[in-house]
Chains A and B, each alone.
Chain A
Amino acid sequence: DSGVTQTPKHLITATGQRVTLRCSPRSGDLSVYWYQQSLDQGLQFLIQYYNGEERAKGNILERFSAQQFPDLHSELNLSSLELGDSALYFCASSPSGMAEGGYTFGSGTRLTVV
């Protein structure tokens, strides 16, 4: 157990729907990062939050949004889902805003859009 908790582990939904993925960072970590892993794109950085504020943005679609709450858990919202959004979504955390030591990853949420 890495200490980073992601729920749900699996999600199956229809095109056009909206889902919310949840992440609780490792105890003491202030930064949360979201990644999308697909077979054709590999690991793609989506967004980083640090202590409740957006810190960095990657290849995140406008249909996707995220936030980090005062208790430091984070949610990734995916809307108007398309078949191509099917992927593994990982959350990672680090103690500070600068992950010099690398990330701690959660076990991911597998999203299937049908």
Chain B
Amino acid sequence: AQSVTQLGSHVSVSEGALVLLRCNYSSSVPPYLFWYVQYPNQGLQLLLKYTTGATLVKGINGFEAEFKKSETSFHLTKPSAHMSDAAEYFCAVRNTGNQFYFGTGTSLTVIP
């Protein structure tokens, strides 16, 4: 069975600091992996996705994530945090049966 674990339900960083949001997954087959962002009172917006090919994936708003099969991880990073990055971030894995499994989310706070 597939599952997603997001380490740290709350992460705080200073403006301009590195953002690192952790995601580990379990999957019996090569997964499709996604990061979504949810701003207050809004729906989830796709940040980036890994399907096949290059393991370092670049997304919108300067975010990127690296698929590491050996570590079953898909951590999300951004070199320099902006105030506008404050939101809830969700990691998700899709299996070959088109079932999506979402993590419980990480709330990112950016401190001025």
Contacts and interface: CB of A to CB of B under 8 A. Distances in A.
B77 interface: no
A62 interface: no
A64 interface: no
B94 A99 contact: yes
Contact of A103 (B42, B97, B100): B100
Interface residues on B, range: 20 to 34
A108 to B, nearest CB: 5
Q: Which applies to chain A's interface (DSSP): helix, strand, loop or mixed? A: loop
Contacts of B34: 102
B43 A105 contact: yes
A12 interface: no
Contacts of B98: 48, 55-56, 97-99
A83 interface: no
A99 B44 contact: no
B43 A108 contact: yes
Given A43-B90, A56-B99, A97-B98, A102 B105 contact: no
